[in-house]
């Protein structure tokens, strides 16, 4: 018997095997969870995104795999409806969705276009509200369900290169707190993981990512970077009854980087700092 034997849920936002959502999925699967999944809609007749995700989730017994554009309320509602049809009520939702147009992400925040800002905020922050709202309206969440989203320290403090996405993550983290308050009377918990840098598709769009890895390795108390599996294990725990008293929290999985107010004494003696 695993922690998730008999428990059912949705995982939104797997792009490929490097996705943090996939690392969480692997841990959920090992503990016995049954899951449905979404993928980015494909253009034309070539199911590129569908096939990429299907190669991962089919071998672990995916109950369904559907396209979902989070800018389309009908898509969101269709996914929630499918989950209700398949599972009855669901016990967890993993929300791992973020995007900003590259031109708006790579430049300074003051140069963000109006449409780029709206797109980034709609996909990266509002989508959590939209999914939670659809689940609430369809009574899709069990009485002890858990919702988990993924954020980053750039939503709390300025991280050069994170730019517009930092503003989106700040909104996402605030959404976690409001949802936790509003869904708490139903027994539903809502939390976020603030993960250190992991080489995902989204992360590679952030400027100077290799420098960021070196910085974390040099400053974090553990003097190393995290692995995707470490985030996956924490995500699994936050979705399980092990965290039944935790809601509205942003849990940092970053080897302690976020606690540091200044570099450690040995930072400037490290090879990366001298380079």
- Cα separation, 168 vs 119, in Å, equals 10
Q: Which of 97, 35, 45 is nearest to 65 (CA)?
A: 35
Annotation marks residue 216 as catalytic: no
Q: Kindly state the tokens that stand for 167.
A: 């503003």
Annotation marks residue 162 as catalytic: yes
- Cα separation, 35 vs 23, in Å, equals 14
Catalytically annotated residue among 110, 126, 162, 178? 162
Contact 172, 149 (CB under 8 A): yes
Q: Is 43 helix (H, G, I), strand (E, B) or coil?
A: coil
Q: How many CA atoms lie within 13 A of 102 on its CB side?
A: 6
Q: Is 19 helix (H, G, I), strand (E, B) or coil?
A: coil
Contact 92, 9 (CB under 8 A): yes
- Say which residue the tokens 């049809």 belong to: 85
Q: What is the DSSP letter of 107?
A: S
DSSP track, 202-214: TGGGSTTHHHHHH
Catalytically annotated residue among 110, 126, 152, 216? 152
Active site (catalytic) residues = 152, 162
């Amino acid at each position: 018997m695993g922690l998730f034997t008999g428990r059912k849920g949705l995982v939104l936002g797997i792009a490929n095997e490097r996705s943090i959502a996939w690392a969480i999925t692997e841990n959920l699967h090992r503990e016995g969870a049954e899951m449905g999944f979404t993928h980015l809609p494909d253009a034309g007749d070539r199911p590129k995104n569908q096939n990429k995700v299907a190669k991962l989730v089919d071998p672990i017994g995916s109950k369904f795999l559907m396209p979902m554009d989070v800018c389309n309320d009908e898509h969101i509602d269709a996914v929630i409806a499918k989950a209700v049809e398949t599972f009855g009520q669901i016990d967890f939702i993993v929300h791992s969705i973020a995007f900003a147009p590259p031109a708006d992400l790579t430049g300074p925040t003051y140069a963000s276009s109006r449409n780029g800002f709206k797109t980034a905020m709609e996909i990266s922050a509002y989508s959590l509200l939209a999914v939670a709202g659809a689940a609430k309206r369809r009574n899709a969440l069990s009485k002890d369900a858990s919702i988990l989203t993924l954020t980053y320290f750039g939503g709390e403090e300025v991280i050069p290169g994170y730019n517009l996405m930092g503003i989106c993550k700040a909104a996402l983290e605030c959404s976690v707190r409001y949802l936790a308050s509003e869904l708490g009377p139903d027994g539903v918990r809502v939390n976020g993981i603030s993960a250190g840098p992991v080489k995902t598709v989204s992360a590679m769009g952030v400027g100077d990512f290799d420098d960021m890895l070196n910085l974390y390795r040099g400053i974090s108390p553990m003097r190393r970077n995290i692995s995707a599996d470490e985030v996956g294990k924490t995500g699994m725990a936050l979705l399980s009854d092990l965290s039944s008293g935790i809601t509205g929290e942003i849990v940092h999985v970053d080897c302690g980087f976020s606690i540091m107010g200044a570099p450690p004494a040995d930072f400037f003696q490290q090879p990366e700092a001298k380079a």
